[in-house]
Chains A and B, each alone.
Chain A
Amino acid sequence: MSAPAMGTTRTAHSDASHKKKKGPGALATAYLVIYNVVMTAGWLVIAVGLVRAYLARGSYHGLYYSIEKPLKFFQTGALLEILHCAAGIVPSSVVLTGFQVLSRVFLTWAVTHSVQEVQSEDSVLLFVAAWTITEIIRYSFYTFSLLNHLPYLIKWARYTFFIVLYPMGVTGELLTIYAALPVVQKTGLYSITLPNKYNFSFDYHTFLILTMISYIPLFPQLYFHMLRQRKKVLGHVEEYSKVE
């Protein structure tokens, strides 16, 4: 779910060449192109940062620290995409986009940032790498689609890489949350106990466990949806390649 947010309802972009619906106006399109270019660049910075840090250190442990700031900046920036849907300049559902972006932001801030002990875990690299590759492909896909010049390679990558990246990202996310559990339980992070004047309690440890459990019904649904999308979009390749 947080992992490759491949956009379940974004095939409208891929059909942009022959289904001219009431899309964004010229100003909105210009803004979206800039937005997607900036995001592509941002995630490229993160990718380069990871590679350079690996080469400098000679190991793949603890690479999170070298890309912590751009990761936080660009992943949080994706919240704008919810506004794009709400404003109608992007044809996706607000709820679906909101869910995908918020789960990413949750993992970035409420787990990785908040529980410092997990930052050195290898599972963090697993989901960061998955997100990075996915986002570079996804944002360049949108950029090219908006400019009506979508190279088949990008389209293919967008609807193929997820097959590996999605499970990879989900594994990284789950392992990271799992690593955070003992720390959260010990420190009572983000938890409220009774008695208090609001007569309310919240156990973040239990909440994290429930979050992990929620992956069980959600992940297969999203994964198989994307496989179906792949068949639809890449299935009739022969007809489309002429139009492109």
Chain B
Amino acid sequence: MKHYEVEILDAKTKDKLCFLDKVEPNATIGEIKSMFTKSHPQFYPTRQSIRLDPKGKSLKDEDILQHLPVGTTATFYFRDLGAQISWVTVFLTEYAGPLIIYLLFYFRVPFIYAPKYDFTTSKHWVVHLACMCHSFHYVKRLLETLFVHRFSHGTMPLRNIFKNCTYYWGFAAWMAYYINHPLYTPPIYGEQQVKLALIMFLFCQIGNFSIHIALRNLRPPGSKTRKIPYPTKNPFTWIFLLVSCPNYTYELGSWLGFTLMTQCLPVAFFFIVGFIQMTVWAKGKHRSYQKEFPHYPTLRSPILPFVL
């Protein structure tokens, strides 16, 4: 068996960073990254971007050396992706925040509202309902992060955790402040409005969860394969006929429901910002499905059936 030699150069300076000899032809990029870490311990594998071309795309960890367009002396280029943090850590942190923060406002912890309201509770039942829904939503997200989701990437850049937490925690505080405020005004159409909103919210929570389970089942444990999702026996997944990312569709529905339930402008803003971001993500995902799978169903839209 012929062994390969691998040299790794810095993508920017073209300096020779590492030379590996006697590399097995069936070695994966992942294994090469581990070898590189031995000589450069500060660049742990998830922080490395290895590519064939200094400006090219990153190679995947699963790529096998002998299947790459390289000679027996392979030259790779290295780019530092910066400090990394695991997706699980980011998700847990960004979701635990809103859960706790909202409750602080709900229980009217001191220094938020006027002292005479400390530790009092709202007299409006919709406020209690809203707290239950908001808390349920984030507990669901935390549990899904721990037990349901199968992530393609292990890590993301460290700075994302600050960006993401500012977004989630900031909006949670902003919404919670008004909903739990002593001067909160309940929805105009009263019980009717709240009941309708609650049904919408719960329907979409179940829907969103169904999609997460369906997506998880597409992927065997420990794998990173991508397949086209299709409707299953669960009626909540039948929306796959019309939409590529129904998890986002249902998420929008949940927050629309919550907006109606609380009739609170900051919640509406949160919904709108989320709408914009999820639409961007859905369009990207839709496009990569279309690129990867030539016979991708043409009836599907990224996020809103027929519309968006």
Contact = CB atoms under 8 A, between A and B. Distances in A.
A195 interface: yes
Interface stretch (B26-34, B177-185, B237-245): B177-185
B188 A199 contact: no
Chain A binding site: helix, strand, loop or mixed by DSSP? loop
Contacts of B178: 194, 199-201
- Nearest first, the 8 closest Cβ-Cβ pairs linking A and B are A200-B265, A195-B183, A194-B183, A199-B264, A198-B265, A199-B178, A195-B185, A197-B185
A194 B263 CA distance: 14
Interface in A191-210: 194-201
A229 to B, nearest CB: 23
Interface of A: 194-201
Given A197-B188, A199-B179, A199-B181, 15 more contacts: A194-B181, A195-B183, A195-B184, A198-B263, A198-B264, A198-B265, A199-B178, A199-B262, A199-B263, A199-B264, A199-B266, A200-B178, A200-B264, A200-B265, A200-B266
A198 to B, nearest CB: 4
Contacts of A200: 178, 264-266
Nearest to B268: A198
Contacts of A197: 185, 188, 263
Interface string B189-219: 0000000000000000000000000000000
A196 to B, nearest CB: 7
Contacts of B184: 194-195, 199
A196 B179 CA distance: 12
Contacts of A195: 183-185
Nearest to B265: A200
A196 B185 contact: yes
18 contacts: A194-B178, A194-B183, A195-B183, A195-B184, A197-B185, A197-B188, A198-B263, A198-B264, A199-B179, A199-B181, A199-B184, A199-B185, A199-B262, A199-B263, A199-B265, A199-B266, A200-B178, A200-B266
